[in-house]
Amino acid sequence: MNTLILGATGGIGAATARALAAAGATLTLSGRDEARLSALSSELGAASRVADVGYESHVKALFEGLESLDTLVYAAGAALPEPLKDADPGRVRAVWNANYFGALWVLKHGLGRMNKGGRVYLLGARPELVTARGFSQYAASKAALARAAEIARLEARGVTVTLVLPPAVDTGLWAQVGKAPRGAISPDQVAQAIATDRAGAGEPELRVSG
């Protein structure tokens, strides 16, 4: 089962890589942090490609060097919370590149590389959990991702596009606001939900419970 995971050096991405490796997947891992990517690839016996998903050229080159895929996981993401009145153009672009534009380039160049019956997993966010002070760009970019996933389902033939909707997850993202909220689940729980769904029929939305 040829599998590509983007954002593989983050908490959910790395956990998903381990879960799918345990299920027998043949992995290619991608991320921006070369040192962490190399360490994870060595641990799992996976191939690796450094890429910044904010650049379409990076994403296009990544797919051009791969065989056709059975599973594609987009786990890249950023929050960078700040009040609307203080919105910084560079930070806004970084959030949208990670949460939306990176996924857009992956769908553009990746859907055509999927085998029939393939699965695409996009890490989304529950609107009721991200409508909060400081999270305007995170909430908006994840909402855009959800709508793009709906359209991808209409346009992609023979491929299931799944929007993964976990509750709060205890990852490094929360370091920007202090700590993860009470009741946050672990990245391993999200990863296991993806692995379980991949072994089953597949759903358009995967709501991960705490």
pLDDT single digits (tens) 105-138? 999 999 999 999 999 999 999 887 778 889 999 9
Cβ within 8 Å of residue 197, ≥6 positions away: 119, 121, 162, 203, 206
For residues 130-154, one letter each, b for 16 or more C-beta atoms within 10 angstroms of the residue's C-beta and e for the rest, the string is beeebbbbbbbbbbbbbebbeebee
Residue 40 in contact with residue 28, Cβ under 8 Å? no
CATH number (1.20.1250.20, 3.40.50.2300, 3.40.50.720, 3.30.70.380) of 2-77+103-124+148-168+181-207 reads 3.40.50.720
The whole-number pLDDT of residue 169 equals 82
**Cα–Cα distance between 40 and 207 in angstroms, integer?**
27
Q: What's the chain's average pLDDT? A: 93
Contacts of 2 (CB under 8 A, 6+ apart): 25, 26, 28, 66, 67, 68, 69, 70, 71, 115
Beta-strand pair 2-6/26-31: parallel
Q: Which residue has the tokens 């490796």?
A: 21
pLDDT band of residue 175 (cuts 50, 70, 90) is low
Q: Can you give the pTM of this predicted structure?
A: 0.94
pLDDT of residue 156: 93
pLDDT attached to residue 4: 99
What number is the average pLDDT over the span 154-164? 96
d(Cα 94, Cα 101) in Å, to the nearest integer? 10
| Band of pLDDT at residue 184, cut at 50, 70 and 90 | confident
Beta-carbon contacts of 77 under 8 Å, excluding residues fewer than 6 positions away, are: 7, 10, 12, 98, 99, 123, 173
pLDDT over 80 (residue 176)? no
* pLDDT mean over 80-84: 93
What pLDDT is recorded for position 210?
72
